[in-house]
Structure 1
């Protein structure tokens, strides 16, 4: 939300407002100093018009509709966060009720960011997302630096976090977390996962796309099974884990609440990919805002239901101590179902 607000302020400020082209896209490159144009010498604008056929950028074809945009955003958003963050949130706040409150507030903050991006998405018809917005508001240098920060720091850290989450779940199938070599094995598995993904994408983009689709189906399937199990427990009356004061044991420690917000907001990140592909979306002026709002409503609903399922299936003490929650549930699914 803050990022989008800062960008919007820059665009709204007349000092930073650049020129616009025929597509309604802000462009800092269209400025010509007419006082410095010599007689008989073609201006920069004339040169650019003469070379339009050879230098015009290739535009992406708008072929995605509302359903495509929402499905891509939901698949992009649902990732390692929902399988790891519930443990971090409960550990920080100490109660069921406060953890669900954190998830709801985080979803509301994401919705506010989406509403900010709705306005930006209607102003720009080209793909690029934040790059286009920062370029329009603050110029080429700021947008160039933003891309480098994303490529070197933000995306790299995100890749490391996701690979470590995968490695933790993978190694938990074969080793106990208390084993001396668990940490080294987890880091080795994470490194191997990154190298394999790089090798696959270098070898064939099509194979990399298939791999992404397969893992997307697997994570959505696992999350669906967890939610169905939670619904089954509630319908069967097996609700002793949540039949108590939901706010009992809440920690009144605001720094810990901040950590809980970081953990939950991590799970909500990814919806801004809709703005990244604005140029590929049909009727983007209307479709982008609708897709952003629908995606965030879906994510808030899924995450709240998933967390209620976690709390219904497992006691809060287990949620606090076990990081690979889904593995604990699937590994001991027979024992869990026979406890009742």
Structure 2
């Protein structure tokens, strides 16, 4: 471990409860000293997670989870429903604006309630134990492990695809085994090597952006060469049915999912009052701009029928226009899925840890490693559940059900902003989403 970490006075690997039960004595320090040193101590001598995430790591976490595999496949879901280029691009812009509004609400909540756990912590503070309990168990048992399994399978499919050409189908057992190994490996890294994991996220973040920038540049060059046929009548035959527009909107929102995940790790963020809103203000406009430009590139090269017929938009895009360099796209998609999976494992384990600390999960899940200051039991628990999800034959059914519930709880979290404005008008708010005035930039 790096020399600046606190050294355990006992064994190298000791698990302690947040209450400090059976814990070695730790010398008390002032809050200012603890902030400067990045100590894992607390003023009650309990072991807590270390503040080791700065602004760059915060941006990397948000971009790492948003830039998963969604943008490389989900544009098909939007264009299939709206059937018009112009309407499709409007949907992507509106999804970005809605995500930004949601992120601002979460920034207010995250700085007013600087606790890890994200939605769980805010629902618990606003509405009490029962709604928080229901959210936590839905998250831990369904959509968190399901999402991990899907990301693992996505990574595995893109890694194995080059070895199964000529229409050969990848064996299901191969996908499952590689996905399981990947989930276990990333869980291990997040358990013992947080600094390596966060540095890896920084590298993967730039790799993901590079993949999308490559698509944008190739598409832009294609358009500058005069290939603008697909944009000549952008709203022709556009769908106006509210049901189909809603489905298209949901497909777009799916690609933006993850903007709230930094809030799960507020306790590990250095100077959260400044870095949390700054990370949001940097990340969300960047994501929206890149997504809109990437979709313009897709739509310039591929017609609407070609996009609808494709099962992997980015791969079809590369095969049509990049020639011998088309193999770069599957590699970059695999890296994107790997990075998103690592971030999701890291952040979701904190929500499990906070729930156990409040008595809503088994107490063993509230233990922290003295050596690495990570919620080791929570990480192992979610790893096991994710591997179990790999054997489910149709995980897409679970995704559909869990996404509906997850959306409901996100709206419940956002409603907590209004609830606190009414019930706790004097509550300290370093940022107010409505005024858009950040004291953090003063």
Query: Per-residue CA shift, 1:133-160, capped at 9, x if unaligned?
Result: 1221233443333222112111133234
Query: 2:314 — aligned with what?
Result: 326
- Following superposition, the deviation at residue 250 of structure 1 comes to 1.1
Q: Does the aligned pair in 2 maintain the 1:89–1:263 contact within 8 Å?
A: yes
1:11-57: CA deviation from partner (whole Å, max 9, x where unpaired): xxxxxxxxxxxxxxxxxxxxxxxxxxxxxxxxxxxxxxxxx999754
* CA 1:53–1:286: 2 relative to 1, 3 Å: closer
SS of 1:329's equivalent in the other structure is: helix
Indicate yes or no: 2:254 matched with 1:269.
no
- Relative to structure 1, is the Cα distance of residues 252 and 266 closer, same or farther in structure 2, using a 3 angstrom cutoff? same
Alignment of 1:1-340 (within 5 A): 56-166=45-155, 169=158, 173=162, 182=169, 185=170, 187-201=172-186, 205-206=192-193, 209=197, 218-242=207-231, 244-334=232-322
Structure 1 pair 172–240 and aligned structure 2 pair: CA distance change class (3 A)? farther
Task: Give how far 1:126 is off.
Answer: 2.5
Distance 1:206 1:296 in 2: 28
Instruction: Give the greater-gyration-radius structure (CA).
Output: 1
Question: 1:231 offset after TM fit, Å?
Answer: 2.0
Shift of 1:171: 6.5
Deviation, structure 1 residue 216: 5.1
SS at match of 1:241: helix
Q: For 1:107, what is the secondary structure of its paired residue?
A: helix
- CA distance in 2 between counterparts of 1:214 and 1:266 reads 24
Return the TM-score normalized by structure 1. 0.71
Q: Say whether the 8 Å CA contact 2:103–2:280 is kept in structure 1.
A: yes
Structure 2, gaps ≥5 residues long: 1-40, 326-442
The residue matched to 1:88 in structure 2 has which SS? helix
Distance 2:275 2:302 in 1: 40
Report the TM-score when normalising by structure 2. Answer: 0.56
Alpha-carbon distance in 2 for matches of 1:236, 1:316 = 20
How far residue 282 of structure 1 moved from its aligned partner, in angstroms, is: 2.8
Q: CA deviation at 1:165?
A: 4.0
Does the 8 Å CA contact 1:173/1:327 hold for their aligned counterparts? no
Could you tell me which runs of 5 or more consecutive residues in structure 1 were left unpaired when the two chains were aligned.
1-51
Offset of 1:189 from its aligned partner? 4.9
Say which is worse superposed, 300-309 or 220-229, in terms of deviation.
220-229
Distance in 1, matches of 2:211 and 2:174, equals 21
> Which deviates more, 269-278 or 93-102?
269-278
Kindly report the root-mean-square deviation, in angstroms, between the aligned alpha carbons of the 2 structures: 3.2
- Cα displacement string for residues 173-215 of structure 1 (whole angstroms, at most 9, x for unaligned residues): 56689x6x74xx4754542332122332466554994886776
Per-residue deviation, 1:117: 0.8
Conservation of the 8 A alpha-carbon contact between 2:84 and 2:234? yes
